[in-house]
Chains A and B, each alone.
Chain A
Amino acid sequence: MNMVLEAPHLPVIGKRLRQEASGDDRIKLGFMAVIGLYLIVALGAPLFVMLSKSLSTHRFDLAAFEFQVSDETGANWGPVVSAADLNRQLEAVAESELSSSSDGRLAATKFFPEFKFRSPVHYRIRGTTDDAAFLVGSTLEKGTEWREYDSGTFRRVVLRPTRSLGFENFATYFSTPALARSIYNSVLMAAISTVFTVSIAFALAYGLTRSCMPLKGLFRGILTIPILVPSLLPGIALVYLFGNQGIFRDWLLGYSIYGPIGIVIGSIFFTLPHAFLIILTALSVADARHYEAAASLKASKWRTFTTVTVPGARYGIVSAAFVVFTLVITDFGLPKVIGGQYGMLAVDIYKQVIGQQNFEMGAVVSVILLVPAVLAFVVDQHMQKRQVALLSARAVPYSPKPNMRMDGLCLAFACLVSLFILGMIAMCQIAAVVKFWPYDLTLTTKNFAFDLMDGGGWAAYGNSIRLALLTALFGSVVVFAGAYMVEKADGFRFGRGLFHFLAMMPMAVPGMVLGLAYIFFFNNPANPLHAIYGTMTILVVSTVTHFYTVAHLTALTALKQMDPEFESVAASLKQPFHRLLFRVTVPVCLPAILNIAIYLFVNAMTTVSAVVFLYATDTKLASVAVLNMDDAGDIAPAAAMGMMIFYTNVVAKLVHALIARGLLARTQAWR
């Protein structure tokens, strides 16, 4: 009796037990290490290298080199002089020329105006610090030892800059008005586009969930079309509609479409589907009981709207706003085509890197571009955590009642927006098949003769298909395996948390930034992975990484819906984990895996931002060809290539739907 009253128990002392690892555990651990390593190599390391690049400055430190010159005999040496002293006397190198880049080289002979090739004079050079480095031809020399060269060799001696860490690059950036102005421009454009897009998306989603308007399925389809085209395409359409030869040019009352107006309209076009789908989801989870309660309390329509509808979709709206903001501020294609002289951050990166080969400054702009994107991402994550608590399992689905005025209004608005979307696509379609819009409307296929223009020709289109297929295949495998590890592996808590964090990061990393980071990381001869630079592999890796997060979350959601005890049952039945994985987990998650594949395919077809830095002559892509042809003034062929991407994605969607239906009938008979 009285067991509860026993004296306080002994504290737990001694060693904690550790479970013996089964063969399965070891395989899983190895598997996880491989996938974790993939994310570190494909994301963590390149970003880190880029960050350090943005903080490093290269400068010739003249005080770090000393010279000695012999007489004509080559035996008697003159006094030791430092390069800094020589420069002070000679002013051979201007102060501004001392700032350099990682590839900077300064000929030593500059400090010796009397230097003569093939003279018997010998030269000695040494560093005053261990870090002082110079090249003799292509041999790197370092250190404080004297080295002696004849004049023939000394001609080939070049000084190397020293690298130092600091915020100098950022200071330079902010003191360049044109560049710093881009920050303001980008934020302004993103903010305006966000307000418009979210309002329009909300009105549309409201109509689709709260009214009895007809043709809801059709509108839903039309509203997602912009996902299937590169963001360059609305830019091209706007050029045709409102550009210098545009038919609707007068509508702008003298304002130019090249600049803020074009950016905002184009941004609304390509961000609308994202905002629409998020808000649609948020509004669809409405609980009918709230509306019944409001009605029974005799609340007016407007009051119901402001107290039930809007708060219910609050997190959806905020989430959509952040997504749109991030998309606009990080987009590169649209402002490149329609932005004119209006500086935007993403375009700055492109100009700095491709135009001026100034990689450090490109890195600086990238880091600046990361700030709003990361901020938006963090806030969004925080909001989503709170969203979960809002849903209740007992909610009763809301079904709207017909209301002529309301339904008519919603239908009219949906028609208007659909007209906008279809109009833009139709404009590109027309431009692609006529001789010279708007003067010669004869039908022609000449715009599809890509091989006659710059940009990569039909080969680029072939490359894009290859990239999209490889990304879909390789990406779904990697993403699903990664999500499986995060969700189903037991133990390795820390590793799984870190992996999940890495998997969430690509969402906050703009494509331009990722592409640039890849240049820094993979285009370094010292990197053993240097070999993939300039190949299809790096394009696939960058694209999978760029779109990793959404795919990861899709896979995770599917896996979370599976009974967590499946693994326990399989273990009790002494079945290896891979048997459960292939017999049960993968078949059950197949719909999600197919969704991931099509998502990756479509995005690989349309993406420009990351790959624009990474393609090589034999891996040119269709989306990049659109950009380059537009740049070269071949706008009609650019529109034609853009439409090719659109057709391909439509076909891919149809094939996906067919495969999904076929496979589901076979493997998901239980549903």
Chain B
Amino acid sequence: MRHALSIEPMPTSRQRPADCAEPAPYLQISDLWKTYGDFVALRDISLSIARGEFICFLGPSGCGKTTLLRAIAGLDLQTRGIILQDGRNISTLPASSRDYGIVFQSYALFPNLTIEQNIAFGLENTGRSKAGVAARVAELLEMVGLSAHGKKYPAQLSGGQQQRIALARAIAISPGLLLLDEPLSALDAKVRVHLRHEIKALQRKLGVTTIMVTHDQEEALAMADRIVVMNHGVIEQVGPPTEIYRHPETLFVADFIGETNQFPASVLRDGEVEIGHSAFCCSTEDFSAGHAATAVVRPVDIIPHGADAHAANASDRPATPQNLIDAEVREMEFLGMFWRTRLTAPRLGERTLVADFSVNAVRRLRIETGGAIQVEIPRERLLLYPRGA
């Protein structure tokens, strides 16, 4: 998981069209609540999803993301609220009358049926001819690259293969909506990364509107057109991965996605905050002077400074570095793609600053444990949130 944090999420090809006249959303959820006795699992959720979009519900366990998915599927009815799918009110329809395919974390493949029979399960009984069903099954097997395994039983396949069969079974009936409930979390790390590309490619090819529930931020960043970050039954932020990563709207989102350094801070005047014992430049809109805040900066955003002026992201920085501080390297941890360092800086007070430096930078600037360096906290990467939020 670590290595991906050092890489900026790739902008995805299917961004939401900017500001042109939007077509009616494919799926619209309004004022949705789900309560279990006194416990509120979903609190006033409203969300629009466009046709063909790939949406991820992301959040820690218990945040309500699976509950929301199951409400959309009609498996656990919401307490209140309306769900419109393609203009049709499906709020209270039974699951079997809705239009979706679903893949579960457990795959839920029928163990006593062969792969072919599993995929054909939803196709039989629908007025198709035997040959028609067989052709469709062959096509789907081809699509997920498992044509050779049709006669086998699920238990004879690997986890990744089983998951692809579950996917094939779900899309066999050409549903308008594809629901994926933590589809990859039972798999090995390698298979997971591989399969996530495959699912994404398949989704793009079919153009089917897809909602995936995950607690794995890396997965969400890599796959989603838009991410819906949830916590304690509410939506914290909705947006494309880059926006979620770069401009988290709440401290929770900042903290949940990627790593953060957090410092107590207070706003001195417009454009300046006090952290520890000294002032730092940053954007202070929404805050007035004297306001207590939490200042957040990501370890990857901290820039090491040395003699070399032609550093990799030189173009990102203003000519004269602001927020430049002297620091001492206390610990260094080699994590393969980069070094994680723990720094102490008199200007920041007692707190440790975690910074991730590229292997290159460490070599070039001769950063070593016990050494002194200068680091820059870029003005635009220092984010402020209300204290205690």
Contacts and interface: CB of A to CB of B under 8 A. Distances in A.
Contacts of A569: 102, 104, 108, 169-170
B112 A584 contact: yes
A569 B111 CA distance: 13
Interface stretch (A11-19, A303-311, A321-329): A11-19
Contact of B386 (A2, A12, A571): A2
A12 B41 CA distance: 12
Interface in A623-671: 667-671
A668 B236 contact: no
Interface stretch (A221-229, A275-283, A572-580): A572-580
Interface string B344-364: 000000000000000000000
Interface in A1-55: 1-5, 9-10, 12, 14, 16-22, 24-25
Contact of A563 (B96, B100, B106, B169): B106
Interface string A176-220: 000000000000000000000000000000000000000000000
Given A22-B94, A670-B154, A670-B155, A574 B173 contact: yes
Interface in B81-115: 81, 91-98, 100-102, 104, 106, 108, 110-113
B104 A587 contact: no
B97 A572 contact: no
Nearest to A573: B122
A572 B236 contact: no
B153 interface: yes
B250 A2 contact: yes
Contact of B96 (A9, A10, A571, A671): A571
A565 B108 contact: yes
A19 B74 contact: yes
Interface residues of B, number: 57
A122 B79 CA distance: 76
A2 B385 CA distance: 8
A337 interface: no
A544 interface: no
Contact of B236 (A3, A12, A24, A667): A3
Given A574-B122, A575-B125, A4 B77 contact: no
Contact of B112 (A25, A573, A587): A587
A668 B153 CA distance: 10
A12 B108 contact: no
A3 B249 contact: yes
Contact of A572 (B102, B237, B250, B286): B102
B73 A568 contact: yes
Nearest to B121: A573
B94 A1 contact: no
Candidate in A1, A9, A570, A583 with the most chain B CB atoms within 10 angstroms: A1
A533 to B, nearest CB: 43
A588 B109 CA distance: 12
Interface of B: 33, 35, 40, 43-44, 73-75, 77-81, 91-98, 100-102, 104, 106, 108, 110-113, 121-122, 125-126, 153-156, 169-170, 172-173, 175, 179, 231, 234-237, 249-250, 252, 286, 385-386, 389
B252 A588 contact: no
A3 B249 CA distance: 8
Contact of B110 (A1, A17, A584, A668): A584
A568 B108 contact: yes
Nearest to A13: B80
Contacts of A18: 77, 92
Given A4-B252, A4-B389, A17-B91, A572 B43 contact: no
Nearest to A590: B112
Contacts of B44: 9-10
Contact of A574 (B96, B110, B236, B386): B96
Given A572-B175, A575-B122, A583-B113, 10 more contacts: A2-B250, A3-B234, A5-B389, A22-B96, A570-B121, A572-B102, A572-B122, A574-B96, A575-B125, A670-B155
Contacts of B108: 563, 565-566, 568-569
A492 to B, nearest CB: 14
